[in-house]
Amino acid sequence: MSKRCVTPRLIQNLPYIIRGHSTTPSPAISPAFTLTDRSDTRPSNNTNETSAPTKILDLEDAKKIFSSVSTTKLLRSSLTLQMAALEPMVDVGLWAINSKLMELPIFKKMVFGIVEKTFYEHFCAGPDLEAVGRTVLKLQESGLKGMLDYGLEHADDNESCDQNFKEFMQTIESTKSLPPSSVSFVVVKITAICPISLLKRVSDQLRWEAKDSSISLPWKQRTLPIFSETSPLYHTQNKPRSLTLEEENDLNRAHERLKKLCETCVEADVPLLIDAEDTILQPAIDYMTYWAAIKYHKGDEPVVFGTVQAYLKDANERLIQTKNAAEKMGIPMGFKLVRGAYMSSESKLAASLGVDSPIHDNIDQTHTCYNNCADFMLEKVANGSGALVLATHNVESGKLAAAKAIELDIGKENKNLQFAQLYGMSEVLSFALRNAGFQVSKYLAFGNVELIMPYLIRRAEENRGLLSSSFLDRQLMRKELVRRMRSV
């Protein structure tokens, strides 16, 4: 039986965000969380973070920021974010979704009906491609783009992978009927088109090869550097057995799925963005991503974008190493830069093996790494040799990147630099960047509400207080609503 999992990337990207850090709101700095982005509302000790010009982005003019948002939508968004900021709301949701009452059709229908009309409508783009298309058109009217993310996550067998592949293909095909440039990316997870167990086996093989250069992997195809000297290799304690013939065949099937996705993206003129996972699986994901990036590009424009998680200690070193290797090969390489999504699981695994965590020791180190990676890639964008998606809800990172882009004279129409936030989150930052002339996308997770919401609830349980970080959005939404009511 095929196992399919529809999960919005909103969910997958939550775990690293607020755990262990202050949630005290500040009117000057948004404590917003990001697309795989951890943020902090305390004053930073990183001078690079506090020196950003304050006038690059206008984060105070509520009227200008929400000029393209209807009063009805503004009111609904304000109320939804306010509810999401209340922990008792999360408690009630958790109780309901885990209750035996969910076995009763009437109760289940009532719960999902409430969720669908509140949180689901706010944070998700709809159940199907038709709904997503309407959302994309609305975003385009507001000067924003859409990143289409059909939330297929992990697959356990080839049957699941084949079904997921078809769903991704349909998503790519759907962009052909939408206005040009209204969709910035189609998002894919390698874990949805290649069995998880195989990705772990391939990662183990790649790690062992990194430990012993005399080892030859007969199945390995041309790719870019995956590890740096500081990359953690502790996952593989003993030499793994070689891939079986069946496993090699399955890997080839995964390559074929990715190949066809890339070819369809080239035809549809839309880039493919590949998301990241935890370090148990990431080597195999990077291997396949870079293989695809070498094979598919349009002149100096990348077709395939990889993802770098800046909360990892080796992130900056790996980014520089991979990008420089791509340049030597004449390959244009694009990256999405995020902070990270697996802090808890990574730390637990490292602790169980008695080794240091691969995650930075504190939030300031993560901020520094993120901003350093952004600076490096912005320099590449400026000289025409790279492309960057800055996926962040962190206002300070947004300010720094915008200032750096202006300093480097990167044209705001340059599609090789884009900012991205989750749909329904960090509206102030999204619109402020748009108003400053930058290209901004919203991450559009979509899928059936019954399949999506249980995952959202579970992630909410793991991240208490998370949605309370929408303080800046809520503050300015209320301000604009009051202004509109007074002007009637």
At 41-86, the pLDDT tens digits run 333 444 444 444 447 888 899 999 999 899 998 998 888 787 777 7
30 vs 422, residue with greater confidence: 422
The tokens describing 207, both together, are 């790690």
Query: What local confidence, expressed as pLDDT, does residue 472 receive?
Result: 86
443-467 average pLDDT score: 64
The rounded distance, in Å, linking the Cα atoms of 445 and 77 is: 17
Residue 335: how many CB atoms within 10 A of its CB?
A: 26
d(CA 87, CA 456): 14
Among 99-113, 142-156, 302-316, 427-441, the minimum mean pLDDT is found in 99-113
Q: Read off the pLDDT of residues 132-146 as tens digits, 9 standing for 90 and up.
A: 999 999 999 999 999
Higher pLDDT, 466 or 76: 76
Tens of pLDDT along 398-441?
A: 999 999 999 999 977 888 999 999 888 889 999 999 999 999 99
Architecture of the 9-487 domain: Alpha-Beta Barrel (3.20)
The contacts of residue 175 (CB under 8 Å, 6+ apart) are: 148, 183, 186, 268, 270
pLDDT over 90 (residue 147)? yes
What mean pLDDT value characterizes the chain? 84
Domain ranges, ordered by start, for the chain: 9-487
Backbone angles phi and psi of 274, in degrees to 5: -105, 125
pTM of the model: 0.84
Select the more confidently predicted residue: 437 or 26.
Answer: 437
**What band does 124 get if pLDDT is binned at 50, 70 and 90?**
confident
Q: Summarize the confidence of residues 79-108 as an average pLDDT.
A: 78
The residue written with tokens 């989750």 in the block is: 422
What pLDDT does residue 17 have?
32
Burial 196-213 (b: 16+ CB within 10 A, else e): bebbbbbbbbbbbbbeee
CA 229/CA 208 separation, integer angstroms: 14
